[in-house]
Structure 1
Amino acid sequence: MESVKPVAITPAKGKLRRTFAKVLNIHKLSGVAPEDGVEKAKKNQEKVKFDQDFAKNANLSQSFNKLEEEYEKRLAMEALLAKLFATVSSIKSAYAQLQHAQSPYDSDGIQKADNLIVSELKTLSELKQCFLKKQHDPCPERTLVLAEIQELHSLLKTYEIMGKKLESQLKLKDSEIIFLKEKLEEPIKLNRLLEKRLNQSGQLCNPLDNLHFSGINPTHFATYLHHTVKSIRGFVRLMVEEMKLAVWDIDMAANSIQPGMFYYKTHHKCFAFEHFVCKVMFEAFNLPYFSGSSESSRKKKIKEDRQAFFERFTELKSMKTKEYLMARPKSRFMKFCRSKYLQLVHPKMEEAFFGHTHLRNQINAGEFPETGFATAFLEMAKRVWLLHCLAFSFEPEASIFQVPKGCRFSEVYMKSVAEEAFYSLDSEPRVAFTVVPGFRICKTLIQCEVYLSNS
């Protein structure tokens, strides 16, 4: 029987086994592992990433919590301040109520206001303690709204009290006015009674009322001269006001009329303008109708026209200026008004006053519009014209005069428009310029008004 021989491993089979073992080792080294190993590696990586994200989110959450905490503290402080100001407004309102209740006296109102003040002061004390103990309001948003409502309510209450106080003051003033009117009525009635008695006795009659040609005397002329000068000064005031509104240099304008003149007071500069207006308005006053004629025919004409001048005086005096001009558009008085206005008011002045020269154009065409400036001029022109007519009603006619610059002051012929000159001047006073001319009527002399200076 044959014996079993062991099988010998051939070189080819050994080579194959080594190759297989090598392949297995390569797979292990290259990471090609069984499926469980791969999943375990992935889980490790995800865990690391999750830990990193969690740490980052934890930091963000911590920062957010800090911001939220700061916001809540700030909101709580705003709520505390709002409540503080609202409480102060309530105290102010309660104090106003207390004052109002004292006059007229109201015991219930005083007690109510006093209790309200004490209550609000307690609230202030509580707010102080909350601030010191850092006790924050649990609902600051609601507190802010309520505080605003409280403050507005307190302000409204304060305004209501102020309104009631003003109403009571108004009623008091009304009652005072009624009382003063009643008190004034007594002297008015007494004055009327005295005026009636004086009129009946003939002691209070206006010298120009019921004036007759045969009865005219220098007193009538002096009275009407006073009215004329008053209207001239009214026009001068209006002209100066217009200059100021037009932003004119008043000093320069006065200096252009009287160069280098020293005035004792600032308002004395108006005398320079008054001098200019009088100079223009009274120019040619000695001539009949302000127009020239030969001396012989002039004397004859004046003798014949004395009564005619007086009749013109009476007629124009009783009429309104506008009505007279409309009824007689070609009269000598219309020509006088037009000529004097064009001389007195320069085109540049009119344009500066009104922004145009329409008024000048209308007056040049014989129309005087209804403006304050034109009305004031017409009133002045009427007075000067009537004074002229009255002057030529005398026999001989009243004459005009003025004194030259530098003339020694004389109380017989002159009177000073500024008494300050007598106290300010060291040497003998001299005439700087004539403001209002003087007049001679028969044997009566009416002094001219002058401004004085050292030189």
Structure 2
Amino acid sequence: MESVKPSAMTPTKSKLAHTFAKVFHIRAISGVALVDGVQKVKHLEKVIKDDWKPVKSTGSWSQLLDEDDKDDEYKLAMEAFLAKIFATISSVKAAYSQLQYAQSPYDAEGIQSADHLVVKELKNLSELKQCYLKKQFDISPEKTLVSAEILELKSLVKTYEIMGNKLESQLRLKESEIIFLKEKLEENNEQNKLIHNSLNQSGQLSMLDNLHFSGLSTSHFVTVLQHAVKSIRGFVRLMIDEMKTAGWDIDAAASSIQPNVVYYKADHKCYAFESFVCGEMFNTFHYRNYSPANESLPERKKQQQQQQQLFFERFTELKSVKAKDYLSRKPKSLFGKFCRVKYWQVIHQKMESSFFGNLNHRNLLSSGEFPDTGFFASFAEMAKRVWLLHCLAFTFQPAASIFQVNKGTRFSEAYMESLDDEAFLSMDSTQQSDPRVAFTVVPGFRIGKTVLQCQVYLSHFQTN
């Protein structure tokens, strides 16, 4: 016959089985050998109504037993008594855990119920203390031992259930906190984006606060140009984010602006959008009124000086004011007209419709008003920087001129600044020509004999 292997038992079941085995073993020793003792015990068992309450007899417990079984029964009684104490302590712990659980979130009925349980179990401990002092033990220790073990296990299970419920409630609380923090993070990201754009586009030109017409120099123009380029790039990032949100194909959009361009990195495609915005914003930059329609005949020297002073005053008037505030105060100003025209040129109506689901921006601009949105505020601040640069360009004599280079032009450090160093790093022996201009991103300027380089994106072209 095959031997039967004992099945694995959990610690709880093993402990309970051990208790039963110990009880049955002692009963076999004392109960079978001493019939008279068993009869006495059975007689006294009828008197017991509640195993957890001590038996109050007129004589000592040991007087009920014969001399031979006193030691074994006494040991069993003491073990049952200790088990009873530990079970009661476990009940106190379970009741106290229930009391703590009812406190958060606050449950008045739960707290009151748990408080009664704690008081009840503490009274049981007090009664057990009195029983020990009076040497009054249960006269059915076998049954008491098993009951104590069962009660202790029930208390442990109850404690674990309470802990499990508490952990589940904490988990739900943490999940709700995570959701709240995610929403807060999204709000902060949006706010940071607006602040970032505002700082990039509308940071005050504090270094030009004390600038006078007589002290104007090329370095001042360079400073304003840097702020204008920075604001354009900030607006382009905002525009690309809106495209992504609206589900645009960024690659296809970049290819439609600058076709047949191989980019060294995927994020270089943003230069195509920058070239588009710069191309529209700087278009007709070389006209004094930003439009050939209002261009007058050449003026005399005195008139030229007056025009220079006028452009400088325009520059000073707008320099330290937010575009939004200026437009609200002077909606019919030249700058207001400039903002309207450039918005219509940069933001196509299909683009606006996909971004916002309507054409409210265009409608407001057509009616002579300005949209009160973060998107238009960013655009207006960018337009302000370009307008300031235009005003400053015509304070010089001769006025600063603008230029850009055509596609395929050989790179020249004197007139160009490359935005992609990879064009030079990636050259190998198979390439027979230097990298050429793929497109101009930011135009260059000439002020007298000073040349401010235009920013270009380079690519390789094979020679025939």
TM-score, scaled relative to structure 2: 0.56
Partner in structure 2 of residue 327 of structure 1: 329
Instruction: Give, in whole Å, the separation in 2 of the partners of 1:347 and 1:256.
Output: 17
Partner in structure 2 of residue 277 of structure 1: 277
Partner in structure 2 of residue 296 of structure 1: 297
Matches within 5 A, 1:51-200: 146=155, 148-155=157-164
Instruction: Give, in whole Å, the separation in 2 of the partners of 1:358 and 1:218.
Output: 41
Instruction: Quote how far apart the aligned CAs of 1:363 are.
Output: 2.1
Instruction: Give, in whole Å, the separation in 2 of the partners of 1:344 and 1:452.
Output: 24
Instruction: Quote how far apart the aligned CAs of 1:243 are.
Output: 0.7
Question: Is residue 313 from structure 1 mapped to residue 315 from structure 2 by the alignment?
Answer: yes
Which residue identity lines up with residue 331 of structure 2 in the other structure? P
Per the alignment, do residues 152 and 217 of structure 1 end up closer, same or farther by CA in structure 2, a change over 3 Å counting?
same
Partner in structure 2 of residue 340 of structure 1: 342
Hey, which of these two has a bigger chunk of helix by percent?
A: 1
SS at match of 2:457: strand
Per the alignment, do residues 156 and 276 of structure 1 end up closer, same or farther by CA in structure 2, a change over 3 Å counting?
same
Instruction: Quote how far apart the aligned CAs of 1:296 are.
Output: 2.8
Instruction: Quote how far apart the aligned CAs of 1:327 are.
Output: 2.1
Unaligned runs of 5+ residues in structure 1 are: 1-76, 91-136, 163-204
Farther-moved stretch of structure 1 (228-237 vs 369-378): 369-378
Per the alignment, do residues 352 and 157 of structure 1 end up closer, same or farther by CA in structure 2, a change over 3 Å counting?
closer
Farther-moved stretch of structure 1 (153-162 vs 412-421): 153-162
Which residue identity lines up with residue 160 of structure 2 in the other structure? E
Which residue identity lines up with residue 375 of structure 2 in the other structure? F
Kept after mapping to 1: 8 A contact 2:401/2:446: yes
Instruction: Give, in whole Å, the separation in 2 of the partners of 1:406 and 1:295.
Output: 36
Partner in structure 2 of residue 370 of structure 1: 372
Partner in structure 2 of residue 245 of structure 1: 245
Kept after mapping to 2: 8 A contact 1:414/1:450: yes
Kept after mapping to 1: 8 A contact 2:400/2:448: yes
Kept after mapping to 2: 8 A contact 1:82/1:144: no
Farther-moved stretch of structure 1 (345-354 vs 358-367): 358-367
Per the alignment, do residues 441 and 367 of structure 1 end up closer, same or farther by CA in structure 2, a change over 3 Å counting?
same
Larger Rg: 1
Partner in structure 1 of residue 451 of structure 2: 445
Instruction: Give, in whole Å, the separation in 2 of the partners of 1:140 and 1:260.
Output: 83
Per the alignment, do residues 454 and 355 of structure 1 end up closer, same or farther by CA in structure 2, a change over 3 Å counting?
same
Instruction: Quote how far apart the aligned CAs of 1:315 are.
Output: 0.5
SS at match of 2:208: coil
Kept after mapping to 1: 8 A contact 2:287/2:295: no
Q: Which residue, 400, 412, 415 being the options, matches 1:413?
A: 415
Partner in structure 2 of residue 217 of structure 1: 217
Kept after mapping to 2: 8 A contact 1:334/1:366: no
Which residue identity lines up with residue 227 of structure 1 in the other structure? H
Kept after mapping to 1: 8 A contact 2:322/2:381: no
Post-superposition CA distance 1:6-46 (Å, at most 9, x none):
xxxxxxxxxxxxxxxxxxxxxxxxxxxxxxxxxxxxxxxxx
Instruction: Quote how far apart the aligned CAs of 1:159 are.
Output: 8.8
Instruction: Quote how far apart the aligned CAs of 1:365 are.
Output: 2.0
Per the alignment, do residues 383 and 287 of structure 1 end up closer, same or farther by CA in structure 2, a change over 3 Å counting?
same
Instruction: Give, in whole Å, the separation in 1 of the partners of 2:11 and 2:243.
Output: 56
Partner in structure 2 of residue 9 of structure 1: none
Per the alignment, do residues 146 and 206 of structure 1 end up closer, same or farther by CA in structure 2, a change over 3 Å counting?
closer
Which residue identity lines up with residue 251 of structure 1 in the other structure? D
Instruction: Quote how far apart the aligned CAs of 1:157 are.
Output: 8.1
Matches within 5 A, 1:263-274: 263-274=263-274
Partner in structure 1 of residue 406 of structure 2: 404
Which residue identity lines up with residue 310 of structure 1 in the other structure? F
Post-superposition CA distance 1:117-166 (Å, at most 9, x none):
xxxxxxxxxxxxxxxxxxxx99999899656413224447879999xxxx
Matches within 5 A, 1:382-401: 382-401=384-403
Instruction: Quote how far apart the aligned CAs of 1:352 are.
Output: 1.0
Partner in structure 2 of residue 186 of structure 1: none
Kept after mapping to 2: 8 A contact 1:82/1:148: no
Which residue identity lines up with residue 459 of structure 2 in the other structure? S
Post-superposition CA distance 1:297-336 (Å, at most 9, x none):
4777655411000000001112221222122221111110
SS at match of 1:363: helix
Instruction: Quote how far apart the aligned CAs of 1:407 are.
Output: 0.3
Farther-moved stretch of structure 1 (293-302 vs 237-246): 293-302
Instruction: Quote how far apart the aligned CAs of 1:348 are.
Output: 1.1
Instruction: Give, in whole Å, the separation in 2 of the partners of 1:258 and 1:161.
Output: 55
Instruction: Give, in whole Å, the separation in 2 of the partners of 1:396 and 1:446.
Output: 15
Instruction: Quote how far apart the aligned CAs of 1:83 are.
Output: 5.4
Instruction: Give, in whole Å, the separation in 1 of the partners of 2:419 and 2:299.
Output: 35
Which residue identity lines up with residue 152 of structure 1 in the other structure? E
Kept after mapping to 2: 8 A contact 1:433/1:450: yes
Kept after mapping to 2: 8 A contact 1:228/1:380: yes
What is the aligned-residue identity percentage? 55
TM-score, scaled relative to structure 1: 0.57
Per the alignment, do residues 83 and 290 of structure 1 end up closer, same or farther by CA in structure 2, a change over 3 Å counting?
farther
Q: CA RMSD in A?
A: 3.3
Kept after mapping to 2: 8 A contact 1:83/1:143: no
Question: Is residue 358 from structure 1 mapped to residue 360 from structure 2 by the alignment?
Answer: yes
Aligned residue-pair number = 285
Instruction: Give, in whole Å, the separation in 1 of the partners of 2:379 and 2:170.
Output: 53
SS at match of 1:452: strand
Instruction: Give, in whole Å, the separation in 1 of the partners of 2:261 and 2:370.
Output: 35
Per the alignment, do residues 362 and 305 of structure 1 end up closer, same or farther by CA in structure 2, a change over 3 Å counting?
same
Instruction: Give, in whole Å, the separation in 2 of the partners of 1:232 and 1:284.
Output: 17
Farther-moved stretch of structure 1 (278-287 vs 294-303): 294-303
Kept after mapping to 2: 8 A contact 1:302/1:392: no
